[in-house]
């Protein structure tokens, strides 16, 4: 399939979408808990039609089609193979909520087919994929948004605006904490894949291997060939707000330590992880994931030359100046901005600036998670060159910037 042949269709398709009264027809790829949530979000956006639902699990795809029918009165087409969606000229955009190891390749194929893309976080399984995803979005001039939804929250937008306005002075440190609350997943034996699952499609870019029930459908997060641990799963939301508030891109040093403490099970990724990302000016972002027992809530803390600002789990924020023990008066939140409606509006208008989480921003935040995981896996501090997006004289670390792909599910060097 030559996906570049679709590019000649995209200007006409874009004109059709821009006509008043014409719906934006989307396909949702990956119908697990996140895909089902996105189905609800996009059916609530005016002028959107869910044309197709896709999942290699036939049971989930059929359940999703039934949900579309119930919500809209219109039955969505059901597919197991996403490539059929890319062949469909009537689909304007795709919403991607697959397993992490499929995110970037699905998005790149969709972009090459002339589709706009909403892709869940983390937007890649490794840094190379993120680079290629941004490159494809630019080359084919597509609208591509990442799934870091807090960038659309009025509270977070206001807190970050205050930070950028210098409410606590010059920022030198952001710290965040995430309580993972993860229990043992135990051990599951290998067995033949169930008949409702297309195992080859589910594996996609990953190496061929036996099926076991700790992969399908959620615990794949804790295996390196499919997921990115809690840092890539939930930690990216905290990384993203920290990086946004600090106005930083990629660091020059990263160090991570942790482990899978408290139990032994089949999983590979840490349930406890601490990461420090240091920048050229000496400032830093420090993150902590605690997957066992804690009474502490999720928080973001920013420290500057004039004071300290904290954002709580729900986005409420307060700040203290100097050595004052009493916080400053609470500020009014910025207006809410729908993460989903803004994507559809950008699709209609072709205005990338309407996106609250444009793909390069989400790539950078995802890349920080990958850097933290590479440091953890190698067990040492790493030096990084932000301009080249490669490590400094470190062949072992550079090997983990990408993966070996299983044909035909290959992220190409040339998009």
Q: What rounded mean pLDDT belongs to the chain?
A: 95
pLDDT of residue 224 exceeding 60, the answer is yes
Residue 15 pLDDT greater than 60, yes or no: no
Co-location of 165 and 82 in the same domain? no
- Give the pairing type, strands 93-96 and 77-79: unpaired
| Model pTM score | 0.94
Is the model's pLDDT at 5 over the cut of 70? no
Q: Is the confidence at residue 1, as pLDDT, over 80?
A: no
Q: Are residues 163 and 248 in the same domain?
A: yes
3-state secondary structure of 144: strand
Name the pLDDT band for 3 (thresholds 50, 70, 90): very low
Domain membership of residue 293 (yes or no) is yes
Question: Which pLDDT score is estimated for 7?
Answer: 41
CA torsion angle 146 150 156 157 (round to 10):
40
Question: Is the pLDDT reported for residue 72 higher than 90?
Answer: yes
What is the 3-state composition of the chain as percent helix, strand, coil, each rounded to the nearest 5?
Answer: 35, 20, 40
Report, as an integer, the average pLDDT of 37-49: 97
- Is 126 found in the same domain as 77? yes
Which structural domain, as residue segments, surrounds residue 155?
Answer: 151-185+215-336+357-399
Please check whether residues 176 and 317 belong to one and the same domain: yes
| Same structural domain, 118 and 66 | yes
pLDDT of residue 6: 39
Q: In terms of DSSP bridges, do strands 272-278 and 253-259 run parallel, antiparallel, or are they unpaired?
A: antiparallel
Q: Measure the CA–CA gap between 279 and 353, rounded to whole angstroms.
A: 27
pLDDT tens for 280-289 read 999 999 999 9
233 with 284, same domain: the answer is yes
CATH number at residue 112: 3.40.50.720
- Residues 289 and 305: their CA atoms lie apart, in Å, by 27
8 falls within a domain: yes
Shared-domain flag, residues 52 and 178: no
Question: Residue 197: is the preceding peptide bond cis (ω within 30°)?
Answer: no
Does 119 lie in the same domain as 173?
no
Residue 227 inside a domain? The answer is yes
280 within domain boundaries: yes
Output the pLDDT for position 10.
46
Please state the domain count of the chain: 2
Strands 284-290 vs 171-179: parallel, antiparallel or unpaired: parallel
Peptide bond into 35 cis (omega under 30): no
Three-state SS string over 194-235 comes to: CCCECHHHHHCCCCCCCEECCCCCCHHHHCCCCCCHHHHHHH
């Amino acid at each position: 399939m030559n996906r570049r042949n679709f590019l000649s269709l995209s200007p006409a398709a874009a004109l059709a979408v821009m006509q008043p009264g014409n719906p934006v027809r989307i396909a949702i790829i990956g119908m697990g808990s996140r895909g089902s949530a996105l189905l609800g979000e996009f059916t609530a956006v005016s002028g959107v039609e869910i044309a197709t639902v896709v999942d290699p699990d036939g049971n989930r795809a059929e359940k999703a089609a039934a949900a579309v029918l119930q919500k809209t009165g219109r039955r969505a087409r059901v597919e197991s193979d996403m490539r059929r969606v890319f062949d469909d000229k009537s689909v304007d955009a795709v919403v991607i909520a697959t397993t992490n190891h499929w995110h970037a390749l699905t998005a790149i194929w969709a972009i090459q087919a002339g589709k706009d893309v909403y892709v869940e976080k983390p937007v890649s399984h490794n840094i190379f994929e993120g680079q290629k995803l941004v490159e494809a979005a630019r080359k084919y001039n597509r609208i591509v948004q990442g799934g870091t939804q807090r960038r659309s929250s009025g509270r977070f937008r206001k807190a970050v605006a205050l930070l950028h306005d210098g409410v606590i002075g010059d920022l030198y440190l952001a710290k965040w904490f995430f309580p993972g609350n993860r229990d043992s997943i135990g051990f599951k034996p290998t067995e033949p894949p169930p008949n409702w699952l297309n195992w080859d499609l589910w594996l996609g870019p990953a190496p061929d291997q036996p099926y076991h029930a700790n992969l399908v459908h959620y615990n794949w997060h804790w295996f390196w060939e499919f997921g990115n641990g809690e840092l890539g799963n939930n930690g990216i939301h905290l990384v993203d707000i920290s990086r946004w508030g600090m106005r930083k891109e990629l660091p020059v040093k990263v160090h991570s330590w942790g482990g899978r403490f408290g139990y032994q099970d089949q999983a590979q990724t840490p349930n406890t992880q601490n990461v420090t990302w240091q920048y050229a000016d000496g400032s830093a972002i420090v993150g902590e994931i605690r997957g066992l027992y804690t009474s502490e809530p999720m928080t973001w803390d920013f420290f500057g030359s004039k004071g300290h600002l904290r954002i709580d789990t729900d986005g409420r924020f307060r700040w203290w100046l100097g050595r004052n023990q009493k916080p400053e008066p609470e500020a009014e939140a910025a207006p809410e901005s729908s993460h989903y409606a803004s994507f559809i509006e950008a699709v209609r208008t072709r205005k990338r600036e309407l996106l609250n989480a444009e793909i390069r921003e989400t790539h950078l935040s995802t890349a920080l998670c990958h850097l933290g995981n590479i440091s953890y896996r190698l067990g040492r501090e790493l030096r990084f060159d932000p301009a080249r997006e490669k490590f400094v004289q470190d062949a072992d670390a550079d090997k983990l910037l990408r993966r070996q792909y299983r044909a035909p599910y290959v992220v190409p060097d040339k998009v």
